[in-house]
Each structure stands twice: as C-alpha cells, then as structure tokens.
C-alpha cells in the first residue's frame, strides 16, 4: 500500500536525519526546521502562528520549541510594532551560525538517504509529495506547488 510505504519512508528518513543532527550538532530536526524557516523568512522573522504553519507544529509546540531556542540564544522574540499584541520569532546571529553548521550535516544526510534514487524518481517523488501537500491538486511538471 502506497500510504504505508510513504509513512515508513518518511519515518525512517526523518529519524535518521534527526539522529545525525543530534549526534553531530546537538540540535533536533524540529529545531533545525525552525531556524531554517526563520533564516529564509523576510527580515528573518515570522509571527509565531506563521512559524507554526511553516514548520507544521501546533502553536503550543512551536511556543515550547522557541522557548528552548531562545534559552540557547538562537532565537529571540520581539513584539510586532503594528499592534503590540503579536509576537515574532527572530533568528539571532548565534542562531544563523548554528544553522550554517547544522545545514552541512542536514545536506549530507539528505544526499546519503536519497543517493540510490534516479533523477526521474526524485522528480516523480517531488511532484507526488507536492501534490499531496497541496491538497491533491496536481502540479505541472517542472513547477512547484504553492503552499
């Protein structure tokens, strides 16, 4: 069954990537995802609700994770100027440096776990996953689905 194969592959790859990150960088995959999302965001900041959506965590889950990253000096929180109620997470210089180190470990792991796949298989996998992530709407070949 395709669904079970997808779940097994996802679980194995994420478990291995997280193991690599923890062993080499003492950073969880979820923490890496948060740092990466912030680094790629405009002005390197996101509202907490946006961050939760981007990294696929609950609001409470992302709050707890940002708490831990803030204690490590990798992220800081700032009030949103426009309304004073909202809070944004911002990656710090220390967080950027940590992300750079962790990105090398992450890239190496991704390359290792996908090494046996052909370019065509990877393209097909990407299109299928993007279609599933986009709610089942197919993406034309060569064009990424908009999340």
The answer to whether residue 37 is domain-embedded is yes
Residue 67's pLDDT is what?
97
CATH number, domain with residue 36: 1.10.10.10
Residue 137's pLDDT is what?
58
The answer to whether residue 103 is domain-embedded is yes
The answer to whether residue 138 is domain-embedded is no
The answer to whether residue 141 is domain-embedded is no
The pTM of the full predicted model, rounded to 2 decimals, is 0.84
For residues 16 and 10, what is the distance between their CA atoms, to the nearest angstrom?
Answer: 10
Q: Give average pLDDT by consecutive 10-residue segment, the chain, 147 residues.
A: 91 95 97 98 95 94 97 95 82 98 96 92 92 70 48
Which residue segment(s) compose the domain that 64 sits in?
A: 2-133
- pLDDT tens digits, 59-93: 999 999 999 999 999 999 999 877 667 899 999 99
Overall domain count for the chain: 1
């Amino acid at each position: 069954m395709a669904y079970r194969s997808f779940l097994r592959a996802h679980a194995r790859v994420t478990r291995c990537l997280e193991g690599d990150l923890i062993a080499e960088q003492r950073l969880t995959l979820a923490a890496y995802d948060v740092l990466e999302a912030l680094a790629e965001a405009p002005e390197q900041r996101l509202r907490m609700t946006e961050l939760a959506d981007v990294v696929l965590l609950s609001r409470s889950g992302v709050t707890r994770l940002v708490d831990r990253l803030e204690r490590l000096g990798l992220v800081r929180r700032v009030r949103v100027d426009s309304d004073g109620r909202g809070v944004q997470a911002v990656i710090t210089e220390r967080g950027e440096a940590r992300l750079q180190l962790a990105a090398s470990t992450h890239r190496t792991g991704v390359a290792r776990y996908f090494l046996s796949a052909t370019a065509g298989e990877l393209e097909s996998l990407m299109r299928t996953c993007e279609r599933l992530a986009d709610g089942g709407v197919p993406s034309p070949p060569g064009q990424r689905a908009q999340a």
